[in-house]
Amino acid sequence: MKFLQFVGASVRIALTGSKRYYAWLLACLTVTLVGFYYYLYQLEHGLIVTGMRDQVSWGSYIANFTFFVGVAAAAVMIVIPAYLYHVTDFKPVTLLGEMLAASALIMCICFVMIDMGRPDRVWHLLPVIGKPNFPVSLLCWDVIVLSGYLIINLFIPGYMLYSVYHHKEASKKILLPFTYLSVPWAVSIHTVTAFLYCGLVSRPVWNTALMAPRFLATAFAAGPALIIIIIQIVRRYTPYGSPGEKFEIPNETIYKIANIVVVALLISLFFTFSEVFTIFYSAGAHKASMAYLYFGFDGHPSLLTPYIWASLVMNVVAAVILLIPATRKNLITLNMACILLFIGIWIEKGMGTVLPAFIPSPLGEIWEYWPSNPEALITLGVWGLGALVFTMLAKIAIQIETGDVGR
């Protein structure tokens, strides 16, 4: 009964708001519905409406899936300082981080579902009624770690908000084990996702032990960068986090997160350099895909070449901005750096990691992939859904935390 009251209040909060709030929801919903419409189109005709073919059999959906697993895992970069090192000013941010993780995970699940040829058979993955190839197939592991992480990231903030709503003290005995569990679990989701790729002998460019560490480094840069932007938006449009409020998030906290971002970004750049050196200097079997990515073939740049160089430039510029204290501690330049590296990592980790492995094909065929329009709109639709879910989850969290539940 008490739980139902809480759910009812949450729904009420999520669905009521200012005109600006409704306009934003409507915009997200429109993008989502356009994507959903094209998804029905894809269901009807099959994945042939996408740009993917046997030669390049994973594309935009799996690239975005990979990136958002990273965004989800990055919440841990807020949780670790807040709960393991007791950096108290990080605590108001953890709520936003967990909501972001939950939203990103919902996006990941959508990306995997829309990539499936037969989504109606998804139950074949479940034990008892299906026939999961556990523990041999890494995809089974992915199902477990992703759904587990989603539950953790809905339970922790959910329980905290439930307690606040009913003016009770949240039990640390319940909360802390789950919080501690969320730390290794976050690492696991991105590790398993990397293992999907690096365990394949057929794709030399993926077949590197650096895949999981690289994924984690890029995740811990891109995720907290997004959180920096989100904090400022939340401070601007809600009482949460504003100076003088109970849940103040001062600029100092943002700068601390920026420190995390720059360390992760530098490690990630170092990993990229290390990978690129190994592959090009040894000039062995891995080279073909990397050469396609960075230089194209026979002097012709590939479709990805301009993007990967743009990504590299963006990441380096962002790293420079974040390394200089004056520009790191200036919100305008800091935001620029965050946006640059977010896009840079999205390119590098999405299309820059997933696509080159298919080009050339195992039999040496060069077939270039580019997403079709329906495919791009479906991808965008999932982004819209993610924004929609995050907005509503964040609004619920903020209003309950600040006591503005409209009872």
357 lines the binding site for other proteins (CB under 8 A):
yes
How near is the Cβ of 101 to other proteins at its closest, in Å?
A: 24
188 or 302: CB nearest other proteins: 302
Task: Report DSSP state, residue 171.
Answer: P
Under rule CB under 8 A, residue 367 binds other proteins: yes
85 secondary structure, DSSP code: S
DSSP 353: H
Tokens representing 204? 């030399």
Is 57 one of the binding residues for other proteins (CB under 8 A)? yes
Six token digits for residue 317: 């510029």
Which ranges in 74-210 belong to alpha helices (H)? Answer: 76-79, 91-115, 138-165, 172-198
- Of 101, 106, 115, 341, which one interacts with other proteins (CB under 8 A)? 115
Give the span between the Cα atoms of 73 and 11, in whole angstroms: 26
Please select the residue that binds other proteins; options are 2, 124, 166, 168, rule is CB under 8 A.
124
Residue 283 binds to other proteins (criterion: CB under 8 A): no
The answer to whether 133 contacts other proteins (rule: CB under 8 A) is yes
| 45 touching other proteins, by CB under 8 A | yes
Q: With CB under 8 A as the rule, give the number of residues binding other proteins.
A: 70
Which of the stretches 308-316, 325-333, 357-365, 389-397 binds other proteins when contact is defined by CB under 8 A? 357-365
Q: What is the dihedral of CA 92, 96, 99, 104, to 10 degrees?
A: -150
| Count of residues making up the chain | 407
154 is a site residue for other proteins (CB under 8 A): no
Residue closer to other proteins, measured from CB, 69 or 138: 138
**3-class secondary structure, 300:** strand
**Site stretch for other proteins (CB under 8 A), options 145-153, 244-252, 316-324, 372-380:** 372-380
Instruction: Work out whether 117 is an interface residue with other proteins (CB under 8 A).
Output: yes
Q: CB of 72 within 8 A of CB of 149? A: yes
Of 288, 290, 304, 393, the one binding other proteins (CB under 8 A) is 288
Q: Which is closer to other proteins, CB of 117 or CB of 325?
A: 117
Tokens, residue 383? 């982004």
Give residues 173-212 in contact with other proteins (rule: CB under 8 A). Answer: 196, 199-203
Contact assessment for residue 383 and residue 31, using Cβ atoms and an 8 Å cutoff: yes
| Residue span binding other proteins (CB under 8 A) among the ranges 82-90, 101-109, 163-171, 373-381 | 373-381
Measure the CA–CA gap between 52 and 66, rounded to whole angstroms.
17
53 counts as binding other proteins under rule CB under 8 A? yes
- What is the C-alpha separation between 277 and 290, in angstroms, rounded? 11
Which ranges constitute the DSSP H helices of 324-407? 325-328, 331-349, 351-354, 373-401
Give the nearer residue to other proteins in terms of CB position, either 155 or 370. 370
DSSP designation for 54: S
Applying CB under 8 A, which residues contact other proteins?
37-38, 40-41, 43-55, 57-58, 112, 115-122, 124-125, 130-133, 136-140, 143, 196, 199-203, 288, 297-298, 300, 302-303, 357-358, 360-368, 370-376
